[in-house]
Amino acid sequence: MEVVDIVPPVLKNNVAVTTIDKLFKWARGNSIWPLSSGLACCAIEMMSCAAARFDLARFGYEVFRAGPRQSDLLIVAGTLTWKMAPPLVRLYEEMPEPKYVIAMGSCAIGGGPFADSYSVVKGIDEVLPVDVYIPGCPPRPEALIDGMLKLKEKIMHPERVAESRKQFVRSIDVEKIEEANA
């Protein structure tokens, strides 16, 4: 028996029935609160995306938060260096569940033009589980919007997120890097 069948026929046209779980997913998918953490060039495109012309607010994603405790999406916009990796991982760990990560730009995906540098992490997926990759150097704001809509789809179907999370193994010990940096 479906949940909808519980509704008496008289109320069929006036009452919408859903599960709490589905309601939560719908709400989460339509009001993602990103953490305003810009690392490099892509951060400017992220700002453009939130500003007047591209207006991320149309989709409900405009509430950029300054602290990790209030946000549920980490947009890694820019080059991640070994010095920045431990603070970024800590930011991610401070965010409450459920949380998502977008790798924006080629640097975040795989090091980009700095892949052979001595100080750059070759892709943030070495230290964080990534949900959506957005290519480009930097990606245009349209691409970021598209990526966030893809993330919305993924939030609506969390079983896919769980699948990709299971595969994630942090290949690098962040605590060791922190010690080495100190």
Partner 1 sequence: MNEFETNEQPRTETYVLNMGPQHPSTHGVLRVELELDGERVIKVRPIMGYLHRGIEKLMESRTYFQCSPYTDRLDYISSMNNNYGYCKAVEELCGIEPPPRANYIRAICAELNRLSSHMVYIGSLANDVGAVTGMLYTFRDREDILDIFDLLCGARQTCNYIRIGGVAQDIPAGFDEKVRKFLDRVPDFLKEYSDLLESNEIFQIRLKDVSVMTAQEAMDCGMTGPNLRATGVPFDVRKVDGYGAYPDFDFDVPTGEHGDNWDRYEVRYKEMFESAKIIRQALDGMPEGDYMAKVPKMLRPPKGEVFSRTEGTRGELGFYIVSDGTNKPYRVHIRRPSFVSMQGLNPMCRGGLIGDAIAAFASIDPLMGEVDC
Nearer residue to partner 1 within complex by CB, 116 or 159: 116
Give the contact letters, 10-39, x = binds to partner 1 (CB under 8 A), - = no. --------------------------xxxx
**From candidates 113, 164, 168, 179, binder to partner 1 by CB under 8 A:** 113
> Minimal distance in Å, beta carbon 104 to partner 1?
13
> Minimal distance in Å, beta carbon 30 to partner 1?
22
Query: Does residue 6 belong to the site contacting partner 1 (CB under 8 A)?
Result: no
Give the contact letters, 63-82, x = binds to partner 1 (CB under 8 A), - = no. ---x-x---------xx-x-
- Pairing, β 34-35 against β 100-104: unpaired
> Minimal distance in Å, beta carbon 44 to partner 1?
6
> Minimal distance in Å, beta carbon 140 to partner 1?
6
